[in-house]
Amino acid sequence: MADHGIPGTTIFDGAMAQKGYALNKMCYSFNDAANRAAFLADEDAYCAKYHLTPEQHEAVRHKNVLEMIAAGDNVYYLAKLAGIFHLNVQDLGAQQTGMSVEAFKAKLQEAGRA
């Protein structure tokens, strides 16, 4: 279902929303500063509290964006987890595309000159 035939793109549809529910619920909790602090204090315990699947827990441990998306994370919720580590969307883009942050930013600038 999630493959809609668009390269490099996961559509967050019903199948992904169902698969990622626990992980997204954890990320949603990070709207609250106390929950962000609790996560930083003991990441594994916090993940366990939200009943993450082993795949989701591993993805969070690795801080790997593509793994988290494959495990059903939605990028808007994922961004709240990334915020805890002070990673912005250029950092996320660089990691997902295997580029340096500078190269990723240059790619964005390049789109404006096209």
- Residues of this chain that interact with another protein (CB under 8 A) are 4-14, 17, 21, 24-25, 27-28, 30-33, 36, 65-66, 69, 74-80, 82-84, 86, 88-90, 92-93, 96-97, 104, 107-109, 111-112, 114
Instruction: State the distance between the two ends of the chain, measured CA to CA, in whole angstroms.
Output: 33
Geometric angle at alpha carbon 53, from 22 and 32, rounded to 5°:
35
Q: How far is the CB of 4 from another protein (least distance, A)?
A: 5
Q: How far is the CB of 107 from another protein (least distance, A)?
A: 5
Q: How far is the CB of 45 from another protein (least distance, A)?
A: 19
